[in-house]
């Protein structure tokens, strides 16, 4: 078998494969002999069917199958040995006069080659790396939420602005009949607020659903309907008051601190606020890192210039899917995937040039870290190492999980690299300002 490459340009090549009879004859003959031993053909004893009949019945199918196997194995071996960095897969060229009755065959395959380019980690323009801090306002609000969450209910006779009211929403036409608790502070409608204030247990008030709550999502849960229906709802409902309570905030004392963090971990209001600040900023760091990763990715895509074998890739997309695509459909699919392909090439080069690898022990430790986090959510704060090893082994036996965890670990390694080598400027912001600046709301 002879394989040669014709370079069309920097991004395209044609590989020619010449297959001779000597390449496939022995294998085909061996398979046909096995067929002869097993063949059951009327008029002949098993194993005594003439070879000419076996060749006539099965010869061409076996030949085609074996030549295709030879092609696949040797073409892949050639691409590896020649270190050809191909995009997609080799595409067989149409040959109008191809003849399977010949003893020698010639095949041609189109190749799309990966472009040559460089990645500059140190951009001229600095990329913003947000450091999100928990300001005093946020910390104070969190302290208030904790006090409210762990406070005690005091029964009231009349509804006031700080109360929680248990009751039943009803509307017969919309089949609404839902028992719920509403916080008066979260009522937006002034008319509804006026209707509720001063009311007593057993009173029934009529409320309009449109603009009833300060947060729109609260309406669905209050009425016991899905958000899609509640978003469009503009009707009157009755609300019958069954219970009125005021939540007295919990005192900031050692009993509360121990309940929150364990015995004597936090011993003062100052330490409580420091802990809230520390925990909040750890959570913010994940959002900040994701924003940085997104921004660096976009920067590389926009500023790393190279050509792609567009025509080849469009043809590859057109012919290798579940069903063939039209020219227009294939062009649309290429446009959708081009950005992702560009970043795959850029990321691959960064990984290669910086020697980034994932070792199995690293992946195992990474998996165990995730498992510990999940167990902590269910109150298992100190799992045994043997238990973690056992769960990690089960997780890593699933190839989909290995792929998912490997991608996440690689993202972490890339993020560490960018923090070390990219041109970053740190910008300290509150969470509120971060949301406004990044999401515009």
Model pLDDT for residues 326-351, shown as the tens digit of each residue: 999 999 999 999 999 999 999 999 99
The reported pLDDT for the residue numbered 295 is 94
The pLDDT value recorded for residue 414 is 95
Range in 64-73, 88-97, 123-132, 264-273 the model is least confident about: 88-97
Confidence at 441, pLDDT banded by 50, 70, 90: low
- What single DSSP character describes residue 378? T
- pLDDT of 116: 93
Class of domain 152-248: alpha beta
Average pLDDT in the 264-270 region?
93
CATH number for the domain whose boundaries are 2-113: 3.30.70.1050
- In the three-class reduction of DSSP (H, G, I as helix; E, B as strand; rest coil), residue 222 is classed as helix
Specify the higher pLDDT residue, 48 or 182: 182
The yes-or-no verdict on residue 382 having pLDDT over 90 is no
What's the pLDDT at 40? 77
Whether pTM > 0.75 for this model: the answer is no
Report the run of H or E that residue 262 belongs to, with start and end: none
- Nearest 5°: the CA angle 307, 90, 112 is 10
Question: With contact defined as beta carbons under 8 Å apart, do 410 and 351 qualify?
Answer: yes
The mean per-residue pLDDT over the stretch 366-387 comes to: 85
State the CB neighbour count (10 A cutoff) for residue 328: 8
Percent share of the chain, pLDDT over 70: 100
Three state DSSP letters for 137-175? HHHHHHHHHHHHHCCEEEECCECCCCEEEEEEEEECCCC
> What is the model's pLDDT at position 408?
94
For 188, residues 6+ apart whose C-beta sits below 8 A from its C-beta are 211, 212, 213, 214
Tokens standing for 434?
Answer: 């971060």
Q: In the prediction, which pLDDT does 124 show? A: 87
pLDDT at residue 380 tops 90 = no
Helix (H, G, I), strand (E, B) or coil at 4: strand
pLDDT at 73 over 80: yes
Here the tokens at position 114 are 């990966």
The whole-number average pLDDT for the span 67-77 is 93
Q: Are 2-113 and 152-248 in the same CATH fold?
A: no
Q: What is the mean pLDDT of the chain?
A: 92
Tens of pLDDT, residue by residue over 79-97, are 999 999 999 999 999 888 8
Number of residues that make up the chain? 441
| 136/87 Cα distance (integer angstroms) | 53
- pLDDT tens per residue across span 286-305: 999 999 999 999 999 999 99
The mean per-residue pLDDT over the stretch 381-388 comes to: 86
Delimit the domains of the chain by residue range.
2-113, 152-248, 281-439
Burial class (CB in 10 A: 0-12, 13-18, 19+), 55: middle
């Amino acid at each position: 078998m002879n394989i040669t490459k014709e370079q069309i340009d920097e991004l395209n090549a044609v590989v020619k494969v010449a297959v001779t009879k000597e390449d496939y004859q022995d294998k085909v003959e061996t398979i046909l002999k096995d067929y002869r031993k097993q063949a059951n053909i009327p008029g002949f004893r098993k194993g005594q069917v003439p070879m000419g009949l076996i060749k006539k019945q099965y010869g061409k199918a076996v030949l085609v199958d074996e030549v295709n196997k030879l092609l696949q194995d040797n073409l892949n071996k050639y691409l590896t040995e020649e270190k050809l960095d191909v995009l997609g897969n080799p595409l067989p060229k149409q040959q109008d006069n191809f003849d399977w009755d010949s003893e020698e065959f010639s095949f041609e395959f189109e190749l799309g080659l990966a472009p040559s380019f460089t990645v500059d980690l140190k951009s001229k323009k600095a990329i913003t790396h947000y450091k999100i801090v928990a300001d005093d306002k946020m910390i104070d609000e969190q302290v208030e939420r904790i006090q409210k969450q762990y406070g005690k209910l005091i029964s009231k006779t009349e509804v006031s602005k700080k109360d929680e009211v248990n009751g039943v929403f009803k509307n017969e036409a919309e089949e609404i009949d839902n028992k719920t608790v509403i916080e008066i502070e979260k009522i937006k409608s002034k008319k509804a607020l006026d209707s509720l204030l001063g009311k007593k247990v057993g009173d029934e008030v009529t409320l309009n659903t449109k603009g009833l709550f300060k947060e729109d999502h609260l309406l669905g849960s209050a009425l016991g309907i899905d958000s899609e229906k509640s978003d469009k709802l503009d009707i009157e409902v009755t609300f019958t008051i069954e219970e009125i309570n005021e939540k007295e905030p919990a005192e900031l004392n050692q009993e509360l601190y121990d309940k929150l963090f364990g015995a004597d971990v936090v011993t003062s209001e100052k330490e409580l606020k420091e802990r809230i600040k520390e925990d909040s900023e750890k959570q913010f760091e994940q959002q900040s890192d994701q924003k940085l990763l997104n921004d660096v990715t976009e920067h590389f895509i926009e500023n790393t210039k190279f050509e792609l074998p567009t025509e080849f890739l469009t043809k590859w997309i057109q012919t290798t899917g579940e069903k063939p695509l039209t020219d227009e459909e294939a062009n649309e699919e290429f446009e959708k995937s081009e950005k992702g392909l560009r970043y795959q090439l850029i990321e691959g080069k960064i990984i290669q040039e910086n020697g980034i690898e994932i070792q199995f022990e690293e992946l195992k430790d990474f998996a165990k870290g995730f498992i510990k986090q999940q167990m902590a959510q269910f109150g298992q704060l100190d799992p045994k190492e043997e238990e973690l090893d056992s769960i990690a082994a089960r997780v890593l036996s699933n190839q989909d999980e290995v792929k998912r965890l490997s991608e996440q670990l690689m993202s972490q390694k890339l993020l560490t690299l960018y923090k070390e080598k990219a041109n970053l400027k740190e910008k300290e912001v509150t969470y509120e300002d971060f949301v406004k600046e990044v999401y515009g709301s």
